[in-house]
Chains A and B, each alone.
Chain A
């Protein structure tokens, strides 16, 4: 009955069960409808409409990956989530179910990831965490609720780090966003446990056009974790998120993403942090799935002694292109940055490192290190590096290293001669390669990541 792309996403078992769905395609009326349906303040409605105009006026990026497969008219831009389960386990493709089993993720999580359950069954944990956060004055909501409950705070920062005009996809997201997270950490407050998107009961987080805004006030600390290593099954062909983070004086924010979209998804995400004096902003970004990912988390170091760090892992298998990297923009003196990128290409997959290091003329005593390493698992795979350096100050210390290596037959033979299967041998080499980044992940993610790599290697060595 509903054969559209997004029908699976939140599930529609019976026609009368759905609450609201916009038509396919993007028109001014679609944007109006989304805003009206959410009962948003006037400024947000205007923001969306302006963004829509910008989206129309901007050309598709001609650099990076091949975007010709995207048809903006064939996408649902808004579907009001239904909380009850609708899709059944049986509807999921076998390979996805199989992967869930083999990674060993819990049943409740499986259903959530597969889109069967709109609620992750961790409501109890969620409530106790919310209680703790509330006592400290920390706000942790989905973005829609954030806008409803804290309109002034949202208005002050929303779209200031990544304006709609930044690029075509940030304009698109600004016009049609739904879901995502809103976090505010007050002055001097340290949130010791990582905040995970899982613990929010709203499935809207997994939406197509989610919008996240994090404000870490002076001297505060927060670690946000999103995504998971298990494949996210989505029938949506386009995922385009925007993540804006403000790191105030002396604050520290770490943002960890592990994403494993199914192989039909275009994953085009804009992520940026503004780091003020003596603040520290970190991106840990793992991209495993999707058809094409274009994602370059960036740090804008605007205050003296601000620090930025970007760790990126990309894995590209058959028919996948991971165009990823990072950007560090040094706008103040004594700022430091470090970009570490590790990519793995296999079965004809393609990885691209694309990075920018920019130091303005007035920034003195700037330090930066960029390391990008690529590992090719076979002859058909490909890796390219595009490191752009725009260094306008003389008072800088810049290091740049890049390596491309291949897994050698002799390395595999050595490990096999110790009783390891070729698959295990290859997985060990790959895990060794990404270890410097994996060790920065929360433990459960690190374990899943290792298992996943092992799974990807199976059946790959002839």
Chain B
């Protein structure tokens, strides 16, 4: 028998709960990890993919992920999620090269009536540190300092565009190794300390 060494129900719950808490408190860092995913999938990205995707959730891969066939194979085998070519069709978009990530308007943004029909973008970065931002909005008592790099140069403008679309828009999850932080569409973000 190929019984899994860990209880998949618990692993899946732990990764979801980490992201739920991260989304409820934008900028707070939580951890999750899954074993055995091929590079460049980081442990937290792999854990979120296993926890949240299945045959109902089309997944889009950026060029850096799509270049490695093992990534798509691992996702298909582990979750059964279809891999799509258009970011607009995706429930989840995985980004390995964050500086080359498409503009938010390239993804599914939902409609005014159904803003939930939008893409969740999971983007891998190097670390939570360096370039600093101020966050505000739901989930944040007054304001929260948040740091992450690398990110596109015009990151704040992109997030402002996303906020302008509210309640439409994408929800962004940043991942560094086993760590994750969420910037849901409700967040207000400015540059600086």
A pairs with B: no
Interfacial residues, chain B to chain A (CB-CB below 8 A):
none
